[in-house]
């Protein structure tokens, strides 16, 4: 993150004041590039330091929305879900082998 010449906070290359004016507040932002970068770091660590067959699973209850599940699908990362509320909804095809149902 940085501050631009107008003194506005920048997030993922975007002016947050302009975003707030366009979409209103409160405004919750996520950086898709950073999410994908972190998923690659986790996948590489698992591949290099854990037994064969180990995998990365995202905790679905942390932030579950269609866009996040699409990123997971694109990056071939599974999701740990605890209820139907954590399942991806319409417009996201998710292969069920990549879903892990955990119980509390």
Which contacts (CB < 8 Å, 24+ apart) does range 67-75 have? Answer: 67/32, 68/30, 68/35, 69/94, 71/32, 71/35, 71/36, 71/39, 72/39, 72/98, 73/98, 74/36, 75/36, 75/39, 75/40, 75/43
Contact criterion met (CB below 8 Å) for 78 and 86: no
Per-residue confidence in pLDDT tens, the chain, 104 aa: 799 999 999 999 999 999 999 999 999 999 999 999 999 999 999 999 999 988 888 888 888 787 888 888 889 888 887 776 666 655 456 654 576 666 65
Q: What is the pTM of this model?
A: 0.78
Q: Where are the domains of the chain?
A: 1-30, 31-104
């Amino acid at each position: 993150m940085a501050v631009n010449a107008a003194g506005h906070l920048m997030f993922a290359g975007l002016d947050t004041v302009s975003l707030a004016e366009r979409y209103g507040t409160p405004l919750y932002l996520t950086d898709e590039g950073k999410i994908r970068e972190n998923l690659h770091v986790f996948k590489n660590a698992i591949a290099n330091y854990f037994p064969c067959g180990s995998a990365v699973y995202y905790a679905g209850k942390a932030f579950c929305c269609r866009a996040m599940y699409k990123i997971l699908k694109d990056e071939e990362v599974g999701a740990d879900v605890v209820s139907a509320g954590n399942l991806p909804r319409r417009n996201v095809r998710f292969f069920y082998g990549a879903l892990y149902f955990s119980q509390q």
